[in-house]
A = this chain, B = another copy of it.
Amino acid sequence: MTSSFIAIDWGTTNRRSYRIESGAVADTWRDDKGVLAMVGGDWAGEVAAIRARHGDLPVLIAGMAGSNRGWREAAYVDCPASLDSLAAAIAWIEPRRTGIVPGVAQRAPDPDVMRGEEVQLLGAVAAGLVPADALLCQPGTHCKWAEMRGGALAGFATAMTGEIFALLKGHSLLAPQLAGAVADGAPFRDGVRRAARGDLTTALFGVRAATLLGQRSEAESAAYASGLLIGSDVAARAVEGAPVHILADPALGGLYAAAVDTLGGRSHLVDSHAAFVAGITALMERIS
């Protein structure tokens, strides 16, 4: 198909659009008109406005716009998922002109779903940013861990790491102690090591107990608690000596890298925007 097109990463709370020319980003725009802001909204009108900005080009949308709360539901593709299986299952609003990339479902052993992350994951392999057989991690509100095999998405797990930290910080007994800054350092890594011993919900109560007993300052508690949650997430999947490829912004990616390294893994940071652009371009190339 055409080598110029518009890609939209349409998430729950934000969206980012790109004009892509021959695989490179020519123009990009980001705002907060995510799916939640679009409830009852004019999806076709929004896409027309994006075309007015980026040009009258084919549009390929990834993310929650394809969920049952989005524009049109794009049925999940099963694991193992590839660029080919995703491209074949694009939900077309208008054939070859406006389409929505499906999400991916894992039905066993543990049920799991993703929407949007699959483009980054498969794109990272397609662009040669990660090997075809690799463990990938996408930190965030819901952290995705993906097992790539032969370049396909073989299986994955979603941890509610970021959301649980936000719940604890916003609404729990620990809230007053979680107001401090979170950065890599000794308290964060102490949390990571404690998390590797398991029993997360008890370790979290220990955040409060340690300050009551004068064993840790209030100022260090947020970093320690973040270490507990991220460490719990990493310890469940990272293998000593094995690489973990982390797709994230530098701040959150850096915390995950520190946790991986603390527990004996080998962290590699990957440019997640480059991975998305590579993935969505590879999908566009498959539309004949």
A158 touches which one: B106, B194, B202, B236 (CB < 8 A)?
B202
Give min CB distance, A208 to chain B, whole Å.
Answer: 8
> How many copies of the chain does the oligomer comprise?
2
Interface string of A153-183 (1 = CB under 8 A from B): 0000111110110011011110000000000
CB atoms of B206 and A111 under 8 A apart: yes
Give min CB distance, A287 to chain B, whole Å.
Answer: 27
- A138-163 at interface with B (beta carbon < 8 Å): 142, 157-161, 163
CB atoms of B113 and A160 under 8 A apart: no
Residues from chain B with a CB closer than 8 A to the CB of A164 are 164, 167, 201
Residues from chain B with a CB closer than 8 A to the CB of A159 are 199, 201-202, 205
Q: Could you tell me the distance between the alpha carbons of A159 and B203 in the complex, rounded to whole angstroms? A: 8
Task: Say yes or no: is A31 at the interface (Cβ < 8 Å to chain B).
Answer: no
- A183-231 at interface with B (beta carbon < 8 Å): 194, 198-206, 208-210, 212-213, 215, 229
Task: Say yes or no: is A21 at the interface (Cβ < 8 Å to chain B).
Answer: no
A206 touches which one: B112, B163, B171 (CB < 8 A)?
B112
4 extra A-B contacts, CB within 8 A, seeds A111-B209, A159-B201, A200-B200: A105-B212, A113-B209, A167-B171, A171-B171
- Which residue of B has the minimal Cβ distance to A167? B167
Task: Say yes or no: is A233 at the interface (Cβ < 8 Å to chain B).
Answer: yes
Interface string of A97-119 (1 = CB under 8 A from B): 00000000111001111000000
User: A-side interface residues toward B, CB under 8 Å?
Assistant: 76, 105-107, 110-113, 142, 157-161, 163-164, 167-168, 170-173, 194, 198-206, 208-210, 212-213, 215, 229, 232-233, 236
Q: Could you tell me the distance between the alpha carbons of A170 and B168 in the complex, rounded to whole angstroms? A: 12
Q: Could you tell me the distance between the alpha carbons of A112 and B211 in the complex, rounded to whole angstroms? A: 10
Residues from chain B with a CB closer than 8 A to the CB of A194 are 110
- Which residue of B has the minimal Cβ distance to A143? B201
Give min CB distance, A209 to chain B, whole Å.
Answer: 4
